[in-house]
Amino acid sequence: MIRILLVDDHALFRTGMRGILETQEGMEVVGEADTGEAALELVRNSPPDVVLMDIHMPGIGGIEATRRILRMAPQVKVIALTALDDEPFPSRLLDAGAVGYLTKGCPAEELVEAIQRVMKDEHYLSADVAQKLSLSALVNKGHASPLAKLSPRELQVMTMIAQGRTTQQISDALFLSPKTVSTYRTRLFDKLGVSNDVELTHFALRHGVVELSG
């Protein structure tokens, strides 16, 4: 039996995924989490075989959650299941240790196939993601996306700033000093050509790093 953990902050989406997966022979949804932090706690208590991980979530987000889960339980297979298919998100997730990357528009059959493939120690990328990764490799990174300029940690700090997190909240969540968080903020302003948190948030919204809530 393949034990699966669903990590997504949209309850309706998790319900839909549970309905699809639990009709499959040999698959069982053993838990759900709506934040990366909640996913870490579930994995710590009872590691699943596969984690289906979103990127857009409150808190530390899917990239950092993937990194921490695999540091704690390296045998777990993480598959990104997200609306984001543009660089640098696929590369960042794969660098963090994910073994699969699917978009939320994929058919149920492809999701099932991806789970089966990663359980055989294979990697699985949806065709559209694989194509974009290939194209990105042919293009100078400086022109592929302004986000490509950012390190994984800078991308994460930007996401949390755009979510409205304070310097202290980011510091606590990422185990960084407030001074280090402020240094990352300054680097972000320089690299992206913005001058304050409001402009940084608008940039993040335009490029799909965060979603407009409410």
User: Domains in the chain, start-ordered, CATH in brackets?
Assistant: 2-137 (3.40.50.2300), 150-206 (1.10.10.10)
The CA-atom distances, in angstroms, between 15 and each of 6, 33, 62, 90, 142 are 9, 12, 19, 25, 39
* Predicted confidence (pLDDT) at residue 88 exceeds the cutoff of 80: no
| pLDDT tens-digit series, residues 51-75 | 999 988 888 889 889 999 999 999 9
* Predicted confidence (pLDDT) at residue 138 exceeds the cutoff of 60: no
pLDDT bucket at 92, cuts 50 / 70 / 90: confident
58, 43, 59, 40: which is closest to 3 by C-alpha?
Answer: 43
Q: For residue 130, how many other CB atoms are within 10 A of its CB?
A: 13
According to the model, what pLDDT value does residue 17 have?
A: 93
* Predicted confidence (pLDDT) at residue 134 exceeds the cutoff of 60: no
pLDDT bucket at 148, cuts 50 / 70 / 90: confident
Q: What is the pLDDT of the chain when averaged over all its residues?
A: 86
Q: Tell me what percent of the residues of the chain surpass a pLDDT of 90.
A: 49
| pLDDT tens-digit series, residues 172-196 | 888 889 999 999 999 999 988 899 9
